[in-house]
Amino acid sequence: MATRSAKSAKTVGRIQKSLYRPENEAVWASFRQLRKSASLSQEEFGQRLGRNQSYVSAAETGVIRLDALQIRSWCEAAGTDMRTWIAVLEAQLTAVAAVQENTSNWKTHRHSS
């Protein structure tokens, strides 16, 4: 089986680490939106997850990052599925992209004036 060399793996594009991308706000907002759509407080939601309120807060503010299985559990606790979460996330990402474009246009206009 062919493998890529370590050098080629490093030079294939420069993708910013997701930890520092502004789109993370959309991920956190999607978690918050699912919980709120279930009409649950952070404490109540934490109980459904078998966790405490601080865990829910940490996930909703990006202090901790959830893996795919934890996101699935989040969806189940909210009474929904991952397809719904993806739809919510896509809507949040679209909003973030619009803000980024408006900011970029504002900066371009400001510097050209």
pLDDT digits (tens, 9 = 90+) for 51-101: 999 999 999 999 999 999 999 999 999 999 999 999 999 999 999 888 877
d(CA 23, CA 97): 8
pLDDT at res. 46 = 98
Do 81 and 22 touch, CB atoms closer than 8 A? Answer: no
Closest CA to 78 of 111, 110, 31, 113: 31
Q: For the chain, which residues make up each domain, given as ranges? A: 22-105
CATH class, 22-105 region:
mainly alpha
Helix, strand or coil for residue 113?
Answer: coil
| pTM, full prediction | 0.73
Two tokens at 54? 């601080």
